[in-house]
Amino acid sequence: MKDFIKKCPVFLTLAGSGLLLSLIGISGSFSVYKEYEFHVAGRPYLALVMEGISKGTMPWEAVETIGMGEEEFPGGLLYKWRNGNGGQEIGVLPGKEGAESFVEGSAGDDGVFVLENEGIPKAGGSPDDQGAENLGELNGQGLAGNSGEPGVQDEAGVQSTPGVQDAGGNSGESNAQGPVGSQDGAKPESVEDSRTYSFQTVGEDYFDDAVFIGDSRTVGLFEYGGIEDRADFFAKISLTIYDIFTTPVAKDEETGEKITVEEGLMQKKYGKVYLMLGINELGTGTTDTFIAEYENVVARIRELQPDAVIYVQGIMKVTGKKDAEDEIFNNTNIEDKNQAIAGLADNRDIFYIDVNEVVCDQEGGLNAEYTIDEVHLKAKYYEIWKQFLLEHGIVK
Amino acid sequence: MVIFSGLEFIFRFFPAFLAVYYITPKKYREWALLFGSIVFYAVGEPYYVLLLLVAVWLNYFFAKKIYSCRDTRRGRKCRKDRVVAALVMDIGLLAAFKLLGAFLGNAIFPLGLSFFLFKMISFQIDTYRGEMIQKPGFRQTVVYFVMFPQIVSGPIMRFSEGGFWEEEREYSWEKLEEGLQYFAAGLGTKVLLADRLAILWKDIHMIGYESISTPLAWLGAAGYSMELYFDFWGYSLMASGICVMLGYPFIENFRHPYASRSVSEFWRRWHMTLGSFFRDYVYIPLGGSREDMTVTLRNLLAVWLLTGLWHGGSLNFILWGLSLFFLIAIEKLALGKLFGKFPFFGRLFVLLVIPVTWVIFAVTDLRELGMYLGRLFPFDGGGIAVNPRDIIKYLGMYWYYLLAGVIWCIPGVPRFLKKHRKHPAVVLLTAFVFWISVYCVVSMENNPFAYLKF
């Protein structure tokens, strides 16, 4: 044996560790890896262990579930053998697990979230609702924690908005210190409240007090839109409506620390807040759960930036080719969410704009000429988006 | 299953095959390899496997005919006629599919056709030249043509290199171990380096070539040069590692090419089995460099045009071949002597021009290619919506892969590891690299380019 170890140590190490990983995979397949796929022909048990690690489930968690129970190993084998294929069908748990991992993913680090997407709809039961509930809770806490301050700001906000428009300037900075009191009394609030605005073309200085929040598309606008010196950007690849307030997206200019969208919005007063989120969420939850969360986010932004015009942007579509091929990232799903997003607009201080009007072809998909990967604009076409934004200014 | 870095191959086909192979008595192991290889190919190409079998049989038939007239009265003429017939068949088949591929898309091109047909061509010519020291048996010939480690992308082993004439093939635990280490090294090179760097290249493509800054264009060219190298070298290491595990010799396909001192040397160290194929079967038969310079240049031109065409049917591959011809020609005419005296300049030259040739190789659309070259050499300014800070972003995202890549290109590093491959630390490192690679394969399987994140 000693001789053998000397002759082929790598072979023995790999065979031994492979066997160990397979055993962990088999035992975990009754519990922590229950949702993962195993194929006799192509996907060995040890792949479950790897998949688990990539989603934050460590191998020792599988070891913990060794025992004679139904969700344990080798007990699960016994149950499976007794009930035929029954082990898989005991219905309640898969749903619950799905929801759990869903929350972990959304709160945790960025890699996890999107990979989870495909798994969840299949997870059996109806995990979506539960997932959303959990998320709602998460966010609810955030709201509750800060409820004191924003309340005050809110009042001020209602008053200050009308004050400025009469002053005529379209530079939002004056918004901040808006000389509010005197004029406000003159106009009844109810009239102001119901006043709606329509879009007009504005100059680039419109962006001077704007902030853009979004995923990789908005990152692209930051890098290639040519307005990065005017506007602030809180954008990050794979940012979602669910982790928008928990993921660090920008650097604090003074301290250099990474800050979240929430912290960023607390530090400075903005005249316009542009939101484009939703493509990463396509595989997660339903449109209802999505829009409920979107509404929370908008409400929170409203609290933090009471005077700002909030633009909720429709999600940019994908090309017709991608649309046809992809079960999740397709235009039907995007249109569905966009319709819901559009419903949030009140045309008073929340406006819906849809860049698809200018970047799509006749069939309604993202113009194939504008993109290489079917999803993102090529650098030089971000200009189209910018021009579109300039044509949709709101001057109060 | 035909991808060596896939789970199906690593954990299903190969272990099962290896077990069957070693349980089979030595006498019948070639049969085991033969049938295993046909199964392997049939999984990848359920229809073209018939084409493969027909081509194998016809080539064996022709080779036997060529061999059989070596002792006849008009041996030379007879052999020549027969080898021409065989070559017309092989080259015709290759050309026909290249043409079909060019017009109907690459999906129509049979898996590994360029490689196994080149093996067949070399086999016919070697037989014609009388280099077969004995009549090749049916079993050995078929195994040589179809052996699964080499059928998809080479290396283009010669029959004489395969050890088919030895009395008995040598099998041992040591060889199994050695081959496994090569395989793990190749897997890591492909999965941990090539596949990561591939994302950088995709990112640059996504931005649009007209909008990348010149530094990013060079970073992209460097990244792609490494990606291509690690992809193919990694693959070749895996292929040759499998051969070693099965008792066949290690076929070297890359010898640290980026450490070369001239472009000609680079191409003697890059895809060596293809380079030597063109040298032995095209360049030297045409007269090589024995006659005057014009003939030498003509022969070089022939070799590089063929090399370009072999890689692909579109115009950029011809441009690519021509650019290499041009570089090697000026080295022959002028720069070679300088590089001989000052190897430093030669190294610098290689590191600057080879990435540019790879860009020509990579970008199949000529208009796009023009844009990329325009960003590499921005003489007329140019560029649309260029973000001059893009280089910082991409260096920040990829510097560790690029740094690891540069280190892995230094010949001393792999040599050191090879020399100390029995040291416990290297053993553990090998196992670690293997499992990390498997981890990456699993976590990327639904998401090959990390693209589901927008």
What is the rounded average pLDDT of the residues B244-261? 96
Instruction: Give the end-to-end CA distance of chain A in Å, rounded to a whole number.
Output: 85
- The confidence score (pLDDT) of residue B19 equals 96
Closest approach of A102 to chain B, Cα-based (Å): 16
Looking at B205, B311, B420, B423, which residue is catalytic?
Answer: B311
Nearest Cα to Cα of residue B133 among B166, B101, B156: B166
Q: Is B424 within 8 Å of A9 when comparing Cβ atoms?
A: yes
Q: Where in chain A is the domain with CATH 3.40.50.1110?
A: 149-390
CB atoms within 10 A of CB B406: 13
| A74: preceding bond cis by omega (within 30 degrees) | yes
Amino acid at B447: N
Tell me the two tokens of residue A228: 């990065």
Q: How far is CA A292 from CA A133, A337, B394, in A?
A: 10, 11, 36
DSSP B74: T
Q: How many CB pairs under 8 A join A and B?
A: 124
Tell me the two tokens of residue B386: 């260029």
Alpha helices in chain A (DSSP H): 2-7, 9-28, 45-54, 59-63, 75-82, 92-107, 110-122, 127-145, 148-167, 173-177, 181-186, 189-194, 216-224, 261-267, 287-304, 320-325, 331-342, 356-359, 382-390
Question: For strand A248-251 and strand A66-67, is the pairing parallel, antiparallel, or unpaired?
Answer: unpaired
Q: DSSP assignment of A110-152, as one string?
A: HHHHHHHHHHHHHTSS-HHHHHHHHHHHHHHHHHHHT-HHHHH
Cα(A395)–Cα(A181) distance, rounded to whole angstroms?
Answer: 21
CB atoms within 10 A of CB A78: 15
- The confidence score (pLDDT) of residue A331 equals 95
Nearest Cα to Cα of residue B239 among B170, B145, B157, B120: B157
Q: Checking phi first, is residue A168 left (phi over 0); if not, alpha (psi -120 to 50) or beta?
A: left
Instruction: Give the end-to-end CA distance of chain B in Å, rounded to a whole number.
Output: 30
What is the rounded average pLDDT of the residues A259-282? 93
pLDDT(A161) > 50: no
pLDDT(A105) > 90: no
Tell me the two tokens of residue B409: 């290109």
DSSP B453: -
Architecture of the A149-390 domain: 3-Layer(aba) Sandwich (3.40)
Cα(A259)–Cα(A257) distance, rounded to whole angstroms?
Answer: 6
pLDDT(A85) > 70: no
Q: Looking up tokens 């061509």, which residue turns up?
A: B121
Which H or E element spans position B175?
helix B173-188
Amino acid at A66: I
pLDDT(A177) > 50: no
Q: Could you read off the pLDDT of B99-124 as tens digits, one per residue?
A: 898 888 888 899 999 999 999 999 99
> Is A186 in the B-facing interface, judged by CB distances under 8 Å?
no
Q: Counting beta carbons within 10 angstroms of the beta carbon of residue B432, is it exposed (0 to 12), middle (13 to 18) or buried (19 or more)?
A: middle
pLDDT(A192) > 60: no
Cα(B189)–Cα(B234) distance, rounded to whole angstroms?
Answer: 5
Residues 6+ apart with CB under 8 A from A163: A178, A179, A180, A183, A184
Chain B residues within an 8 Å CB radius of A41: 8, 12
Distance of CA A387 to the CA centre of its chain: 26
What is the rounded average pLDDT of the residues A15-43? 88
For A308, list phi and psi in degrees, rounded to 5: -75, 150
Residues belonging to chain A:
396
Q: Is A223 within 8 Å of B451 when comparing Cβ atoms?
A: no
What sign does the CA torsion over A82, A86, A87, A93 have?
Answer: negative
Residues 6+ apart with CB under 8 A from A259: A248, A249, A250, A251, A252, A267
Q: For the ranges A200-204, B99-103, B272-276, which has the lowest average pLDDT?
A: B99-103
Residues 6+ apart with CB under 8 A from B317: B308, B309, B311, B361
Indicate the residue of B173, B439, B454 with minimum beta-carbon distance to A7.
Answer: B173
For A226, list phi and psi in degrees, rounded to 5: 75, 20
Q: Looking up tokens 């895809």, which residue turns up?
A: B271
Tell me the two tokens of residue B233: 């070298």
Cα(B188)–Cα(B405) distance, rounded to whole angstroms?
Answer: 11
Amino acid at A135: L
Indicate the residue of B180, B387, B452 with minimum beta-carbon distance to A224.
Answer: B387
Tell me the two tokens of residue B248: 């066949």
Chain B residues within an 8 Å CB radius of A226: 385
CB atoms within 10 A of CB B224: 21
Q: What percent of chain B has pLDDT over 90?
A: 81
> Is A115 in the B-facing interface, judged by CB distances under 8 Å?
yes
pLDDT(A127) > 50: no
Q: Which residue of A has its CA nearest to B210?
A: A380
pLDDT(B449) > 70: no
Q: Looking up tokens 């018939």, which residue turns up?
A: B50
pLDDT band at A2 (very low <50, low <70, confident <90, very high): confident
> Is B176 in the A-facing interface, judged by CB distances under 8 Å?
yes
> Is A170 in the B-facing interface, judged by CB distances under 8 Å?
no
Q: Is B206 within 8 Å of A373 when comparing Cβ atoms?
A: yes
Query: Could you report the predicted ipTM of this complex, rounded to two decimals?
Result: 0.89
Chain A residues within an 8 Å CB radius of B11: 18, 44, 46-47
Paired residues of A233 in beta bridges: A212
Q: Looking up tokens 């004191």, which residue turns up?
A: A148
> Is B206 in the A-facing interface, judged by CB distances under 8 Å?
yes
Q: Could you read off the pLDDT of B360-391 as tens digits, one per residue?
A: 999 999 999 999 999 999 987 778 888 888 99
pLDDT(A65) > 80: no
- The confidence score (pLDDT) of residue B454 equals 66
Long-range contacts of residues A258-266, Cβ cutoff 8 Å, at least 24 apart: A261/A213, A261/A234, A262/A142, A262/A300, A262/A304, A264/A211, A264/A232, A264/A234, A265/A211, A265/A234, A265/A301, A265/A304, A265/A305, A266/A304
Cα(A222)–Cα(A232) distance, rounded to whole angstroms?
Answer: 9
- The confidence score (pLDDT) of residue B359 equals 97
> Is A257 in the B-facing interface, judged by CB distances under 8 Å?
no
Alpha helices in A36-126 (DSSP H): 45-54, 59-63, 75-82, 92-107, 110-122
> Is B298 in the A-facing interface, judged by CB distances under 8 Å?
no
Q: Is B336 in contact with B265 (CB distance < 8 Å)?
A: no
Chain B residues within an 8 Å CB radius of A315: none
* Side-chain-facing half-sphere of A208: CA atoms under 13 Å: 12
Q: Which of A172-181, B123-132, B317-326 has the highest mean pLDDT?
A: B317-326
pLDDT(B221) > 50: yes
pLDDT(A139) > 50: no
Chain A residues within an 8 Å CB radius of B43: none
For A351, list phi and psi in degrees, rounded to 5: -125, 140
What sign does the CA torsion over B177, B183, B186, B190 have?
Answer: negative
pLDDT(A119) > 80: no
Which H or E element spans position A350?
strand A350-353
Test the B interface: residue of A8, A12, A241, A276 with most B CBs within 10 Å: A8
> Is B438 in the A-facing interface, judged by CB distances under 8 Å?
yes
Q: Counting beta carbons within 10 angstroms of the beta carbon of residue A182, is it exposed (0 to 12), middle (13 to 18) or buried (19 or more)?
A: exposed
pLDDT band at A37 (very low <50, low <70, confident <90, very high): confident
Q: Is A205 in contact with A226 (CB distance < 8 Å)?
A: no
Return mean pLDDT, chain B: 93
Q: Could you read off the pLDDT of B389-422 as tens digits, one per residue?
A: 899 999 999 999 999 999 999 999 999 999 999 9
**Is B420 among the catalytic positions?**
no
Q: Is B6 in contact with B235 (CB distance < 8 Å)?
A: no
Amino acid at B187: L
- The confidence score (pLDDT) of residue A96 equals 38
> Is A110 in the B-facing interface, judged by CB distances under 8 Å?
yes
Return mean pLDDT, chain A: 76
Paired residues of A197 in beta bridges: none
Q: For the ranges A259-263, A343-347, B71-75, which has the lowest average pLDDT?
A: B71-75
Q: Which residue of A has its CA nearest to B392?
A: A223
- The confidence score (pLDDT) of residue A84 equals 62
pLDDT(A125) > 80: no
Q: Could you read off the pLDDT of B127-166 as tens digits, one per residue?
A: 999 888 888 899 999 999 999 999 999 899 999 999 998 8
pTM for this prediction: 0.82
